[in-house]
Structure 1
């Protein structure tokens, strides 16, 4: 779970940067995961990329399954760029 959570937030951070934004532009993050006890690991991964200074609103949802049996965590986000 640690490697998947870190990779998920690393990928999200890269997408935000590629769009010309920073962590401060991320308004909301939703985290989907399978085991309630994994929340600490997932929050630590989130904070590694999106915890410095400004932390976006977050929702964490324990779900029965994800897109495939090998997937332990999924992350989605809403970001906005001021023009």
Structure 2
């Protein structure tokens, strides 16, 4: 059994236009799409500021996992896409604030030439175990 997870805190427009779900729960596993720095109105938060964008990304990720009935402690794996890998320490500092459980999720960092919009500096996808 699988179901789409579409929290009201995230804008429906981007997902509708590009044909995706913010999260998909398949049994006890939740796959979270790459989160970017959109607010509820699809405005980009923190344009030019990777720290503000990263905070918004984690707020959006939290909205998806909580809508599915979990917490940030249920996230087991993340993949971070950065336009500038020199920004990794900023992301790591945010991870330390948002992932505080006994078992920290795995983490892969990928440097990319660009993300879906030129204003995006960071995108993070995740997998959670909700069993």
**CA contact 1:10–1:49 (8 Å) conserved in 2:** no
Q: TM-score, normalised by structure 1?
A: 0.89
Structure 2 residues without counterparts, runs of 5 or longer? 1-49
Partners of 2:96 and 2:70 lie apart in 1 by: 17
Q: Report what 2:79 is aligned to.
A: 30
Structure with greater helix percent? 1
Q: Report what 1:65 is aligned to.
A: 114
Structure 1 residues without counterparts, runs of 5 or longer? none
Higher relative contact order (CA 8 A, sep 6+): 1
- The structure whose Rg is larger is 2
Q: TM-score, normalised by structure 2?
A: 0.59
Q: Quote the RMSD (CA, aligned, Å).
A: 1.2
Partners of 2:64 and 2:114 lie apart in 1 by: 25
